[in-house]
Structure 1
Amino acid sequence: MNLKPNRSIPSASVIPVLIYPDVRAAVAWLGAAFGFVERVRIGEDHRAQLAFGDGAVIVGDTHGERRPPRPGEVTHSVTVRVDDVRAHCARAREHGARIVMEPTDFEYGERQYTAEDPAGHRWTFSETLADVAPEEWGGQTVSGG
């Protein structure tokens, strides 16, 4: 895939849009707790594009049918790769993230933790420990991607 560049949209090929009751507060918190960087602001409290490495997420306001998660339900999770899960988890905890799963090493070569942000979105942060073939832990490689 060869995507055309456009400075008005993140360059990532998959861009989650997460809804928050207060976009500005979400941008500030996601930056402080998780290390996201705001790259584009659309209106004062309408939307913001955030970057993390070569990935991106858009934070959107509540409007019409757009709503943040409801307590007690998990409808999605965003996975973000980081260099040091333990340090990242400590930073997130320091900023009030609810740690749902402490840093854990998995047979598929990743150390991960899961956190919930103040709006109820679930985030899994993953640190690669080793390059492990899916077949070694019960997965199956389906395509070359």
Structure 2
Amino acid sequence: MTNTLVWPALRYDDARAAIRWLVDVLGFEESAVYGEGERVDHAQLNRPGGGGVMLGSVREDSSISQVPAGVGSVYLVIDTEGELTGIYERAVAAGATMTQELRTEDYGGSGFVCRDPEGVHWSLGTYRGEETGGE
């Protein structure tokens, strides 16, 4: 696994359903899921090739208890147009709300934006960001 330094952290009313959706539709892989029954105390989901998210159930004893469930916007870099198209088709088939259809961007790459079943925005695209200047 690559050395990921930024981990978006999300809260869900139904974290177990969110994990299934993120794995089945967006292609994440479960790395760790802790909790009992329907409660998820902590989960780590990795993207193949690097990156990932952490998530858990809404809980009053959480250090981020002030953050409402279903709030957030995360961008995922996808390696190829073919993979991006496949994920887009799975998202459409799963009934995801599309807030931006699959399109080519004027700044480079292609992408789309959808919302997961609890309302988190997921931007997916082939744009990898601008090159940094340092050696």
Interval of TM-score (by shorter of Structure 1 and Structure 2): 0.7 to 0.9
Q: Indicate the residue corresponding to 2:133 in structure 1.
A: 144
Q: Structure 1, residues 18-66: CA drift from partner, whole Å, max 9, x if none?
A: 1101111111111111111110112132221000020010011112324
1:11 deviates by 4.1
Root-mean-square deviation over aligned CA pairs: 2.5
| Count of aligned pairs between the two proteins | 122
Q: TM-score, normalised by structure 2?
A: 0.79
Q: Specify the code of the residue in structure 1 equivalent to 2:11.
A: I
TM-score, normalised with respect to structure 1: 0.74
Aligned 1:16-95 pairs, distance under 5 A: 16-44=8-36, 45-53=40-48, 54-64=50-60, 65-69=66-70, 76-82=72-78, 83=80, 84-95=83-94
User: Distance between the aligned counterparts of 2:7 and 2:94, measured in 1?
Assistant: 24
> Which stretches in structure 2 are left out of the alignment for 5+ residues?
61-65
- Change in Cα spacing, 1:24 to 1:11, as seen in structure 2 (3 Å) is farther
C-alpha displacement of 1:113: 0.1
Structure with the bigger RCO (C-alpha within 8 Å, sep 6+) is: 2
Q: Percent identity?
A: 30
Query: What residue ranges of structure 1 are gaps of 5+ in the alignment?
Result: 70-74, 135-140
Aligned to 2:63: none
Q: Distance in 1 between matches of 2:21 and 2:72?
A: 19
Are the counterparts in 2 of residues 102 and 114 from structure 1 also a CA contact under 8 Å?
yes
Q: What corresponds to 1:103 in structure 2?
A: 102
Q: Say which one has the larger Rg.
A: 1
Distance 1:39 1:95 in 2: 23
